[in-house]
Amino acid sequence: MKIGILTSGGDCPGLNAVIRGAVLKGIAIHGQEFVGFRDGWRGVVEGDVIDIPRTMVRGIAKQGGTILGTSRTNPFENGGGPDVIKAHMERLGIDAIIAIGGEGTLAAAKRLTDAGLKIVGVPKTVDNDLDATDYTFGFDTAVQIATEAIDRLRTTGESHHRCMIAEVMGRHVGWIALHAGMAAGAHAILIPEQKVSIEEITEWVQEAHDRGRAPLVVVAEGFVPDHMESPHSERGLDTFGRPRLGGIADQLAPEIEARTGIETRATILGHIQRGGVPTAYDRVLATRLGMAAIDSVVDGRWGTMVALKGTDISHVGFEEALGKLKTVPQHRYDEASVLFG
């Protein structure tokens, strides 16, 4: 059997470990062949592939990014579609596809599976927002990177007696903000799931300052204060028509400074959270998911995604994977809010 692998959407630490896990198990146990589609769905639509021999995946688990490249191409646009993709697969002798990506990638994979293509999925999102899996690889690395950066902001904030605001990723959910904020000892954590007033934020900041601390605020990019209707966005739309978020920290900083008189600085971590080497946890999880994807292919579980349930890997349908976002539950935010101010 010849299997094509693609990585689509935003890059994420651990992608290469998935590829390595799938290729090593597929070759060693099942004698399968592998090719990689260049730049995600673009390579699938155009039939642009490279061979992936065992030697190509040697030592790549510790590398960030993806050796195959990625893009946000929609496989149903720009001359794509199921018939075109089927023709490329037949021409190249590819029997099945392993699609590694987030919600957009898996939604496209479901549509193509419904059209008769043989596809299995591997979930990827640093936001950890897919409800069908307990954790996604890349999340632990993003939290570790964010925590280290926030620790550095704290020291400079303390030196200058400033309030420091760190903006982290989190379009619809606040898992990175919650975990990094708790780990770094933030005095306020602001996430998309919770409407908070600017008055309450400044109260937390003032309480910390009154105790002689340099206030630290961690905010997810998708946070919406109660005086706003939607997340802050001033950079237009992405290729899927979604607003490009980022900059809420810059909006909050002057508000906090004006209301408290405390010098306030904002830092947007942005894409730095996606870069660099994956943590040990993400390398192991990604490797296990890649190996489990091979089991899905061998068993003919088309239209399913591998997922982490507790400490075990399971197989769930795309419908379940795409059903809803995994948001931060109220009790988790209440637990963290005890530490605010």
Residue numbering of the annotated binding site for ATP: 10, 72-73, 102-105
C-alpha dihedral sign at 214, 220, 225, 226 = negative
CA-closest candidate to residue 167, choices 215, 205, 217? 217
Burial category of 95 from C-beta neighbours within 10 Å (exposed 0-12, middle 13-18, buried 19 and up)? middle
Residues at the annotated binding site for substrate?
125-127, 162, 169-171, 221, 265, 271-274
C-alpha dihedral sign at 39, 112, 91, 88 = negative
Which amino acid, 127?
Answer: D
| Cα gap 52→94, rounded to integer Å | 13
In the chain the beta strands, taken as DSSP E runs, fall at: 2-7, 33-37, 49-51, 96-101, 119-123, 163-168, 188-190, 216-220, 264-268, 304-309, 312-317
Among 127, 129, 140, 282, the one annotated catalytic: 127
Residues at the annotated binding site for Mg(2+)?
103
Residues at the annotated binding site?
10, 72-73, 102-105, 125-127, 162, 169-171, 221, 265, 271-274
| Cα gap 334→189, rounded to integer Å | 11
| Distance (Å) of CA 20 to CA 28, 36, 340 | 12, 12, 42
163-168 and 216-220: which strand pairing? parallel
The question of whether 282 is a catalytic residue gets the answer: no
Residues acting as catalytic residues:
127
